[in-house]
Amino acid sequence: MTRRSWLVFLAALVPALAFGWLGFPRLLYVAADQPLQFSHRTHASEAIGLTCEDCHAFRADAEFAGIPTLAKCADCHSEPIGDSAEEKRLVDEFVKPGREIPWHVYARQPDNVRFPHAAHVKRAGIACDGCHGAHGVSATLVAFESDRVSGYARGLATMDECEACHRERGRGTLACIGCHR
């Protein structure tokens, strides 16, 4: 290959790689704000003292119930108890009319994946923030990003991350059927 051919090759390769690393994710993912802002920090503060499990509980069959229903929020928020605009919106737009909050849910797994929260939280003793980060100190919710093609959330744990976590805890690599249907 001549020097000129190498220069032409590199002149094409560098922008292509830059687009792949920087541009493609911006085209692939779409961001949407959550329908309502929520402060985990306020709810987990010493004054209120809620834990993750108070709102994000397990059902009787040990499956994770996910985002709390409006009824759970209405237990405390039938009327505004603070002075935030978002709490007033919660009461006026959702609680009083009995309209569920259309949260964008990061935890929706691909149809072929099974992730038993109970096994990880109750049996393995992994704290919620071990996978989900320090939501207990967040004052706002981050924008929801989803893949335009699959519709799945950006930021779900990858198979490599799951396998690494299992290796770190001495659980070894699971057979495919352990997580995939």
- In this predicted structure, the answer to whether residue 52 has a pLDDT above a threshold of 90 is no
Confidence of residue 173 (pLDDT cuts 50, 70, 90): low
Three-point CA angle 176, 24, 26, nearest 5°: 100
- In this predicted structure, the answer to whether residue 37 has a pLDDT above a threshold of 90 is yes
3-state secondary structure the chain: CCHHHHHHHHHHHHHHHHHHHHHHHHHHEEEECCCCCCCHHHHHCCCCCCCHHHHCCECCCCCECCCCCHHHHHCCCCCCCCCCHHHHHHHHHHHCCCCCCCCCCCCCCCCCECCCHHHHHHHCCCCHHHHHCCHHHCCCCCCEEEECCCCCECCCCCHHHHHHHHHHCCCCCCCHHHCEC
User: Considering only CA atoms, which of 118, 105, 34, 39 is closest in space to residue 73?
Assistant: 39
Q: What is the mean pLDDT of residues 12-32?
A: 85
- In this predicted structure, the answer to whether residue 136 has a pLDDT above a threshold of 80 is no
- In this predicted structure, the answer to whether residue 36 has a pLDDT above a threshold of 80 is yes
